[in-house]
Amino acid sequence: MEWKWNTIIEPFKIKTVEPLGITTREERAKALEQAHYNLFNIKAEKVLVDLLTDSGTGAMSAAQWGGVMNGDESYAGARSYYNFEREIKDLTGFEEVIPVHQGRAAEKILFGVVAGKGKCIISNSHFDTTRANVEFTGAEAMDFPVKEALNFDKPAPFKGNADVAAMEKFIKEKGAKNIPLCVMTVTNNSLGGQPVSMENLKAVRALCDKYGIPMFLDCARFAENAYFIKLREKGYAQCPVREIAEQMFELADGAWMSSKKDALVNIGGFLAMNNKEWSAKARQMLILTEGFNTYGGLAGRDLEAIAIGLREVLDENYLQYRIRSTAYLGEGLLRHGVPIINPPGGHGVYVNAKKFLPHIKPQNFPAQSLACALYLEGGIRGVEIGTLMFGRRDAKGVFQAAPMELVRLAIPRRVYTQSHIDYVIEVFGWLAKRAKQIKGLDVVEAPAILPHFTAKLKPAK
């Protein structure tokens, strides 16, 4: 539908509601202390607006809930599996469709088949679970983001792109025979949910063809990426988003997806490809770790909901609202002088805490301090992507700060309305006026692996 108004409305009405966790500042202060200033330890019922992640936190539609009731729970050959398989084949064109319980299960299986010691996987940027699963096999995970991606303040349309020249240089050094796979993550989650252009996908495809390297998509947010191509890339304005998505998949040899994102469900995923040799090996691992070929760690009702979600997510009214509402949050923050990764990505806004709180030293965790202040003042939960997550002590015990200090405000799909977002903007406006009063944190204890999930902190002296 042609939309001539400035106000982009939520293209749905609400049928089921859940109360928000309304608390007092005093209760939140106590909750923070009990959680050791780690927001992963806060009970969700004590959060007002939860922007921790967009993964598995979306609202399903009435049609999806109807599908849940229709789920065929047969162990083998369930109708729901065939609906799931047909939908994914239609969209991606891949012949071999393997269901898994979530994205990282696909990664564990795929890299178990193709990676291993001495091998190297190349990418625009690996997502954390992707990197962890590559490295678990003994292989290396190398990222080749474009330079614009690291200049947070300066807008560029496709900051998710890969640096093709740097990739080629690396392939020549390492030797193509040691690189079993190139992964394009769409959108680029680790670097701000930024999109990859079709032109860049084509260039990477050509590079992979030149050196005989298969290319897969890590396509958790393929629909958001396709919509950005329609909005921003020359020649696609008139192209239906579904066709853009199909073209993206056509360039690849395979894909995997965390359905907890753009399939609009709370759990699930798939691995799909044409390579019969790889898929046969993958299916052996599937049966060992996930389940039989026609359910792979999911219930029939999950498969049904994914099949419906994959269709719904390509509705352009939905995508217009989705991308617009993320941009709306970004614009609101910029209006209050809050520095963000500009432009906002598809699934969230990333606040640059290093610039927002220059008085807090890296060893006092500026991004985590901001995330805690947001919770204390507004009951809003974001997630730190900074020194708590990536900071390290080197061999001599010397503290190494992370290169960036970000607070990600990820937006669950179809969950919050514009007034919730207006509220978040207002809280940020209030904080922006009192930024100097926000204090840093000291670490009390932190494990070596994935410290951000369980670290304990306290207010710095």
Ligand X SMILES: *Cc1c(COP(=O)(O)O)cnc(C)c1O
DSSP-assigned letter for residue 72: -
CB 411 within 8 A of CB 329: yes
Decide if residue 189 touches ligand X (CB under 6 A): yes
Residues in 263-322 that interact with ligand X by CB under 6 A: 269
Decide if residue 258 touches ligand X (CB under 6 A): yes
Residues in 404-423 that interact with ligand X by CB under 6 A: none
Integer-rounded Cα Rg, in Å, for the chain is 22
Decide if residue 129 touches ligand X (CB under 6 A): yes
Decide if residue 80 touches ligand X (CB under 6 A): no
Residue nearest to ligand X (CB): 103
Stretch of 86-94, 102-110, 322-330, 404-412 lying at the interface with ligand X (CB under 6 A): 102-110
**Can the peptide bond before residue 343 be classed as cis, meaning omega within 30 degrees of 0?**
yes
Least Å distance, CB 97 to ligand X, is 17
CA distances from 350 to 196, 330, 341, 460 (A): 18, 8, 6, 24
Helix axes 222-232, 241-250, angle to 10 degrees: 110
Answer for which of 38, 55, 64, 387 binds ligand X (CB under 6 A) is: 55
HSE-up of 113 (CA within 13 Å, CB side)?
20
Stretch of 5-13, 69-77, 255-263, 439-447 lying at the interface with ligand X (CB under 6 A): 255-263
Sign of the C-alpha dihedral computed for residues 229, 233, 237 and 239 taken in this order: negative
Residues tagged active-site? 75, 127-128, 218, 220, 261, 452
* Residues contacting 30, CB < 8 A, separation 6+: none
Least Å distance, CB 101 to ligand X, is 8
Whichever of 39 and 220 has its CB closer to ligand X, that residue is 220
* Residues contacting 232, CB < 8 A, separation 6+: 157, 158, 195, 197
Answer for which of 71, 103, 160, 332 binds ligand X (CB under 6 A) is: 103
Stretch of 72-80, 124-132, 208-216, 287-295 lying at the interface with ligand X (CB under 6 A): 124-132
Least Å distance, CB 102 to ligand X, is 3
How open is the CA angle 30-34-40, to the nearest 5 degrees?
110
- Token output for 154: 């300066």
Whichever of 104 and 230 has its CB closer to ligand X, that residue is 104
Least Å distance, CB 53 to ligand X, is 8
Enumerate binding residues for ligand X (CB under 6 A): 55, 102-104, 127, 129-130, 185, 189, 218, 220, 258, 260-261, 269
